[in-house]
Structure 1
């Protein structure tokens, strides 16, 4: 599409779909046989459409996130689309009701779509618009190994590795006992061998005393990281674990906005960070947090949103791992592909999200 110097909002369309999970999520935070997405189209008078989506976990969330998106979009009417200006104005508007939760999630969805529109108008991949480049990213498969029966873990681990010749996969821990967690790890390691990196996620499921005992008990298992052993905003106790353990502590998917990200870093709450785009504040919130991670020397990975996250990691100083999940692939016109454990960020304008409208129609609710 021809490059345009100015984009002006014409309207925003918000839709919701729910996609059945190939491997239903079973974790400490709940069970999810389906995965909802809120689809956002930012339409401009110049004909460019910016697209993004949100992953709100709950089907009913569109009832309150959708109106919040449309409310925040009102401030864009008649104005040039400029994501930094929008982010600043959105944060100022939210001073009185809070800059976390639904309000920031709604702003993040709009922010991502604006950046997509700007990249399309410039004829550039989002990574290039941000000053980076397209190319490969190492990725791990997060599409399974939930808290399922132990006798299913080995076969599923083999499947996860084979899906993209992955060099890394993730397992969920926090079973009723250390013995069961150890058995789960042995089963998976026996199935995949010693050369595949293995991350683990506790999904905030442990109280402090449990986390101390459990993580020390697992500290010699060669895991790449312990993810969210305790409640996400308990920075003091997370910092205690990071100090005591040999295995790096990973947090970040539940941190809201770059200011809270800075507070976590200042509290030395973790060794590694993995922001989630709908909570960190979209592209703008990510890039501001990536600057903090870069200045402090903390490796930065992603949480969900593989298409947009892949572009952002290519422009992130301390880029570590892309979390790969394919739950949204049915509604994406050209899903990204994994080959030999790497995702290739495509050299096409925008963030890589265009809708498969036939699939969208099928999954609408």
Structure 2
């Protein structure tokens, strides 16, 4: 079979995934956001003349989903006739097609779904899991659960979910903090630490809701709980404040999930603003961009714990030189036919080619609009 192949068809679709219960983190309790009730997805399905195919997705929590879809519709036709192996070339072409709206945020999150689909396609064509195509360092990654630790849940509910996660082979537990009453935060952390014991990895996430003084005070009080990290103690763009915390606290500082470009992550890295960086491939523009910032992070000796979208990030974490973490969320399970396996505290890289996922009938049912380009 010829190695020359061309993209002949692209389908974009947007779908709304309803959450079982409204979700609240610290941003809700500080009045900055309403409880989250759904996640909006942008899917890209790409097919070549030789019949190879790939799927990728981006997403938005609360606002932004329709904007991602609108931008993708404007530029996607430009990849028809391109060689799907030329992922960097295609990304640059799409970036310039939408250059007037910038190189971060919605503009590149719309491209992420296409970029990820091209990597999925390339790995499938090679008959390899994406991690193997990229050059993996491991066949499984340490994993921790987040979806059971939100602030809308009572402490007893968080404990029950933590026990369930551990029984399912998930290694660590992360809970949300950042309530207006810091004493309640400490009560919840102490309660969950006592419940799971001292051998189970525990993380906390303040979702950017502390000021510098509160973050320092809470960081010192949290030292006794032997946390793996404190996540987003400050505003995501307060690189200097995060750097100070990373310097003076024994507990590692993790942040980066809200940054929307490699350039923003580079600012965080250059400021020594974290011990563990948490990029999100769909948010920074796809796998092409994620790999760029991962190289920068590794050069600085940073830990890696990608945010959300475990179906994508498991492969990227497996290809990171330093031992990483991957975040377990079960929210996306209804979207795909396959499930990721967890065992002995780790998430197993599937042996299926590409990302190893296919869209479910439920994902199709939740689709609210779609558009197609090419034959």
Work out whether 1:252 is the aligned partner of 2:250: no
Q: Paired residue for 1:76, among 63, 76, 79?
A: 79
- Alpha carbons of 1:131 and 1:184: their partners in 2 closer, same or farther (altered >3 Å)? same
Q: Measure, in 2, the Cα distance between the counterparts of 1:229 and 1:354.
A: 36
Contact 1:4–1:121 (Cα < 8 Å) also in 2: no
Q: Measure, in 1, the Cα distance between the counterparts of 2:251 and 2:4.
A: 48
Q: Measure, in 2, the Cα distance between the counterparts of 1:4 and 1:323.
A: 39
TM-superposed CA distance for 1:259, in Å, is: 2.5
Contact 1:223–1:247 (Cα < 8 Å) also in 2: yes
TM-superposed CA distance for 1:11, in Å, is: 2.7
Match of 1:290 in 2: 294
Show structure 2 runs of 5+ residues with no match: 28-32, 369-375
Q: Measure, in 1, the Cα distance between the counterparts of 2:109 and 2:365.
A: 25
Match of 1:47 in 2: 51
Work out whether 1:196 is the aligned partner of 2:200: yes
Match of 1:8 in 2: 6
TM-superposed CA distance for 1:146, in Å, is: 0.7
TM-superposed CA distance for 1:178, in Å, is: 2.2
- Secondary structure of the residue aligned to 1:353 is coil
CA-atom RMSD, angstroms? 2.0
TM-superposed CA distance for 1:167, in Å, is: 2.3
Q: Paired residue for 1:57, among 61, 64, 88?
A: 61
Match of 1:159 in 2: 164
**1:154-173 Cα deviation digits (max 9, x unpaired):** 323323322x2322110000
- Secondary structure of the residue aligned to 1:103 is helix
TM-superposed CA distance for 1:61, in Å, is: 3.3
TM-superposed CA distance for 1:92, in Å, is: 4.0
- Secondary structure of the residue aligned to 1:219 is helix
Contact 1:14–1:41 (Cα < 8 Å) also in 2: yes
TM-score, normalised to structure 1's length?
0.92
Show structure 1 runs of 5+ residues with no match: none
**1:122-144 Cα deviation digits (max 9, x unpaired):** 22211122122661111111121
**Aligned counterparts, 1:132-147, within 5 A:** 132=136, 135-147=139-151
TM-superposed CA distance for 1:23, in Å, is: 5.4
TM-superposed CA distance for 1:257, in Å, is: 2.3
**1:157-208 Cα deviation digits (max 9, x unpaired):** 323322x232211000011222111100121122212211101111111122
Contact 2:43–2:55 (Cα < 8 Å) also in 1: yes
- Secondary structure of the residue aligned to 2:362 is helix
Number of aligned positions between the proteins: 360
Work out whether 1:363 is the aligned partner of 2:361: no
Q: Paired residue for 1:334, among 309, 333, 338?
A: 338
Match of 2:239 in 1: 235
Contact 1:203–1:229 (Cα < 8 Å) also in 2: yes
Contact 1:287–1:316 (Cα < 8 Å) also in 2: no
